[in-house]
Chain A
Amino acid sequence: MQDDAAQNQTLLGADELVLNMGPQHPSTHGVLRVKLKLDGERVRGTECVIGYLHRGVEKIAENRSYQQFAPYVDRMDYVAAVSNGLGYCEAVEKLLNVEAPPRAKVIRTIMTELQRIASHLVWLGTHALDIGALTPLFYCLREREEILKIFEKYCGARLTTHAFRIGGLQYEAYDSFEKDVERFCKDFERRIQEYVDLLTGNSIWIGRTRNVGVLSAEDCIALGASGPVLRASGVKWDLRKAQPYAAYDQYNFQIPVGTNGDTYDRYMVRMEEMRQSRLICLQAIENIPAGPILGKVGKVLKPPAGEIYHSIEAPKGILGYYIVSDGTTQPYRVRIRPPSFINLQALDKMARGHLVADVVAIIGTLDIVLGEVDR
Chain B
Amino acid sequence: MQIPLDNDLTKRYREQFGAAILDAVEDRKQAYLVIAAAQLAEIAGYSRDVEKFDLLEDYTAVDWPRREKRFDLVAILYSFPHNLRLRLKIPLADGETASSLVEIWPTANWLEREIFDMFGISFSGHPDMKRILLPEEWQGHPLRKDYDILQQDTAWVRENLGIESGQ
How large, as a class, is the contact surface on chain A?
Answer: 35 or more
Contact with A along B25-64 (1 / 0, CB 8 A): 0011010000000000000000000000011111010110
A222 to B1, CA, bound (A): 33
Contact A337:B57 (CB < 8 A) given known A304-B1, A306-B2, A309-B76: yes
List residues of chain A with CB within 8 A of the CB of B62: 324, 332-333
Q: How far is the CB of B124 from chain A (nearest CB, A)?
A: 21
Q: Report which of B2, B57, B107 forms a contact with A320, defined as CB distance below 8 A.
A: B57
Q: Report which of B28, B80, B107, B134 forms a contact with A342, defined as CB distance below 8 A.
A: B107
List residues of chain A with CB within 8 A of the CB of B54: 221
Contact A309:B87 (CB < 8 A) given known A335-B58, A341-B110: yes
Pair A97/B56 contact, Cβ less than 8 Å:
no
Interface-facing stretch out of A34-42, A54-62, A102-110, A153-161: A54-62
Chain B, range 62-119, C-beta contacts under 8 Å to A: 62-63, 74, 76, 80, 83, 85, 87, 105-107, 109-111, 118
List residues of chain A with CB within 8 A of the CB of B74: 322, 335
Interface centre among A59, A62, A94, A237 (most CB of B within 10 A): A59
How large, as a class, is the contact surface on chain B?
Answer: 35 or more
Pair B109/A345 contact, Cβ less than 8 Å:
yes
Contact A51:B133 (CB < 8 A) given known A59-B143, A320-B58, A335-B58: yes
Q: How far is the CB of A302 from chain B (nearest CB, A)?
A: 13
Chain A residue with the shortest CB-CB distance to B62: A333
A95: Cβ under 8 A from any B Cβ: yes
A62 to B148, CA, bound (A): 11
A318 to B62, CA, bound (A): 21
Pair B134/A51 contact, Cβ less than 8 Å:
yes
A307: Cβ under 8 A from any B Cβ: yes
Chain B residue with the shortest CB-CB distance to A373: B133
B132: Cβ under 8 A from any A Cβ: yes
A298 to B58, CA, bound (A): 31
Pair B149/A59 contact, Cβ less than 8 Å:
yes
Pair B83/A223 contact, Cβ less than 8 Å:
no
List residues of chain B with CB within 8 A of the CB of A322: 58, 60, 74, 76
A243 to B85, CA, bound (A): 11
Chain B, range 104-148, C-beta contacts under 8 Å to A: 105-107, 109-111, 118, 131-135, 142-143, 147
Pair A54/B76 contact, Cβ less than 8 Å:
no
Q: How far is the CB of B67 from chain A (nearest CB, A)?
A: 12
A218 to B85, CA, bound (A): 19
Q: Report which of A63, A318, A332, A333 forms a contact with B149, defined as CB distance below 8 A.
A: A63
A62 to B1, CA, bound (A): 22
Chain A residue with the shortest CB-CB distance to B152: A56
Pair A50/B57 contact, Cβ less than 8 Å:
no
List residues of chain A with CB within 8 A of the CB of B135: 51
- What are 7 A-B residue pairs whose CB atoms fall within 8 Å in the complex? A58-B143, A95-B28, A221-B80, A224-B107, A307-B28, A307-B30, A308-B27
> Apart from A62-B149, A307-B30, what 11 extra A-B contacts exist at CB < 8 Å?
A50-B133, A51-B135, A59-B149, A94-B28, A221-B80, A223-B107, A224-B107, A242-B83, A243-B83, A332-B62, A337-B57
